[in-house]
């Protein structure tokens, strides 16, 4: 998985490492639905990353 310091172009599930948080938050990037924003599972829609924040991913699809 790669670290992204801007919202990536590739759709998928990412981990959002937010400043001053102990654990990363899962977020979804789906450009058809949300444009160039990330959608948090708490309802947050965000189109930016602050200095020091990053996304890690996308998460691979589980093997069947």
The answer to whether 3 and 36 have CB atoms below 8 angstroms apart is no
pLDDT tens string 11-44: 999 999 999 999 999 999 999 999 999 999 999 9
The answer to whether 30 and 1 have CB atoms below 8 angstroms apart is no
Region 32-61 average pLDDT: 96
Q: What is the pLDDT of residue 41?
A: 94
User: Residue 64: inside a domain, yes or no?
Assistant: no
Q: Total domain count for the chain?
A: 1
Domain that holds residue 51: 2-57
Looking at residue 31, what DSSP letter applies? H
Task: Give CA 9 to chain center in angstroms.
Answer: 11
Distance between CA atoms of residues 22 and 61, nearest Å: 25
């Amino acid at each position: 998985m790669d670290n992204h310091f801007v919202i990536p172009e590739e759709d998928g599930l990412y981990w959002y490492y937010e400043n001053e948080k102990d654990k990363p938050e899962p977020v979804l990037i789906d450009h058809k639905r949300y444009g160039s924003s990330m959608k948090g599972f708490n309802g947050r829609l965000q189109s930016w990353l602050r200095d020091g924040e990053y996304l890690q991913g996308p998460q691979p699809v589980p093997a069947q």
